[in-house]
Homo-oligomer: A and B are copies of this chain.
Amino acid sequence: GVFTSNKVKAAPVVLSQQVVAGGSARAVVLNSGGANACTGKPGYADAVAAAEQVAKSLGCEPGHVAVASTGLIGTRLPMDRLLPGITTAASQLSASKGPEAAQAIMTTDTVSKQATVTLSSGVVIGGMAKGAGMMAPALATMLVVVTTDADVSSADLAAALVPATTRTFDRVDIDGCMSTNDTVLLMASGASGVPIAVGSDDWAEFAAGVADVCADLAKQLACDAEGASKLITITVTGAASEADAVDVARSIARSALLKCAIHGEDANWGRVLAAAGTTTSDFDPDLVDVSFNGVLLCAGGVEVGDRVAGAEALKPREVIIAVDLHAGEASATILTSDLTADYVHENSAYST
């Protein structure tokens, strides 16, 4: 499991971290409509009660049940409705109901998100995710559950999941707002009878499969960002280090001004340089190249392109901003979305 690094952690995150630390999760229960964050000890007791209800319904240990919640921060969950709901949901468990689960956890998401990969051994890795782009610490928390029928130890699952999330979910940055509830779980049932472990022949394929499912879900999250009209891929190359590349790409992804410009299909590349310049990354501004969807607009730090052609290049829904720092060999990519009036609208009146 991988969880939010926010100092303010929701009760279900605290509980699930303990479950993951124990190394054995048999089930996970997810609810939308309430984040169960900033709810104190009573909120934690609610998360425990949810896990106990799942354990009772499935006949497993309560300490083996992870919990994930998403919704408004600061209000208690309606336990009188949630506990019977768990019993009902448990009675309808079925191998064919993945799509319904993916749909049930949606909040401001406009489409459900699933991804699967089948390995050469027949092992399947599948996942579902919700979150309108990691954008909201309230309604649109990112929750992801990835499962596999491989027989993998808890420690080895972590060895596959942590690097996968570092380069996928951690590189989606819609509005710079870190949730109190973000949760990514990877669970292995062993049902395929195929044992996989760090160092085994098929480990690399398995780890890559986990990363592929995570990358697929991460892209689906960014595509469905609240109010977004563009999916923006920011690729920084020629960086002195991968950390520098991430730093520059993330700074660009967090420029509200640039995100407005892309929304308006305005090839205002100066906002890319202005954002890059706020980082401590090692590069010379007079060497930087910037292109929008392949149209080179800035070379060696000065304008070379045609802003009209640049604006034309911004018409597709998917926009690739490529930045070459000419400072080294490292690179990184961050996914984000544009900033729109619809984002403002969706987030200006949520809790009322």
Contacts and interface: CB of A to CB of B under 8 A. Distances in A.
A94 interface: no
Given A38-B270, A286-B40, A256 B347 contact: yes
Copies in the complex: 2
A189 interface: no
A311 interface: yes
Given A135-B257, A266-B351, A38 B341 contact: no
A200 interface: no
Interface string A254-276: 11110011011011111101111
B303 A257 contact: no
Interface string A1-15: 000011111000000
A302 B270 contact: no
Given A6-B278, A303-B38, A351 B177 contact: no
Contacts of A74: 269-270, 273, 298, 302-303
A307 B351 contact: yes
A83 B343 CA distance: 44
Given A138-B257, A261-B350, A8 B266 contact: no
A302 B268 contact: no
Contacts of A307: 351-352
Contact of A274 (B8, B257, B264, B278): B8
Given A344-B260, A344-B341, A350 B8 contact: no
A51 interface: no
A171 B294 CA distance: 38
A170 to B, nearest CB: 14
A180 interface: yes
A267 B349 CA distance: 9
Contact of A261 (B35, B273, B351): B351
Contacts of A278: 5-7, 178
Nearest to A140: B257
A112 to B, nearest CB: 23
A267 B351 contact: yes
Given A256-B177, A260-B344, A311 B274 contact: no
Nearest to A268: B351
A39 B75 CA distance: 53
Contacts of A185: none
A301 B266 contact: no
A274 B179 CA distance: 6
Interface of A: 5-9, 35, 37-40, 43, 72-75, 135-138, 175-180, 254-257, 260-261, 263-264, 266-271, 273-279, 283, 285-286, 298, 300-303, 307, 311, 339-341, 343-352
Closest 5 CB pairs of A and B: A73-B270, A264-B348, A8-B277, A137-B274, A341-B341
